[in-house]
Amino acid sequence: MEFSIRAANVEDCRDIARMIRELAEYEKVADHVKVTQRDLEQDGFSKNPFFHGIVAEVPEQHRTKEGHTKIGYALYFYSYSSWTGRAIYMEDLYVMPEFRGKGIGKALMSKVAQLGLAAGCNQLNFTVLDWNKSSLDFYLSQGCFDVTEKMGYHCIRCEGEALEHLAQP
């Protein structure tokens, strides 16, 4: 299957927002999505962006029945490990279901890894749901390892009222 990977631009935000909703539906958490197209435009394409993105596109002749040519994406940002230095965090990796198994997800992940290495990063971090065995198996086959299993770390979050409360002096 012919496809290309390129840096996302502000005009892609509509399609990225669509695919974020699709990913959330796949992960059975559609009600958790609060980010809008406008948020993506502001947060990813301002002077100091909070994230970066890449998109996978197919030629017009392979577009979906809904007319989409943007069929996958990855969002990432740079972070820092106090032990090992520069790192890159892949927030999302998504390929529309009818385009899976064609190397597009691998190409997106590979591009994020390339961008990280080019920026001097020495690790790529991301999360995967425990029930998503096919994705977990794929990541493990690429040489990744389960940090929770190997090192015992858990991913912890504080949000909403708890975050507001925590921020109080």
Q: Which residues are catalytic?
A: 139
**Dihedral sign (CA 88, 6, 37, 130):** negative
Strand-strand pairing, 52-57 and 4-7:
antiparallel
Q: Residue 75 burial by CB count (10 A; 0-12/13-18/19+): exposed, middle or buried?
A: buried
Residue carrying the six token digits 């106090």: 82
Between the alpha carbon of residue 97 and those of residues 26, 39, 64, the distances in Å are 9, 25, 11
Helix %, strand %, coil % for the chain, to 5? 40, 20, 40
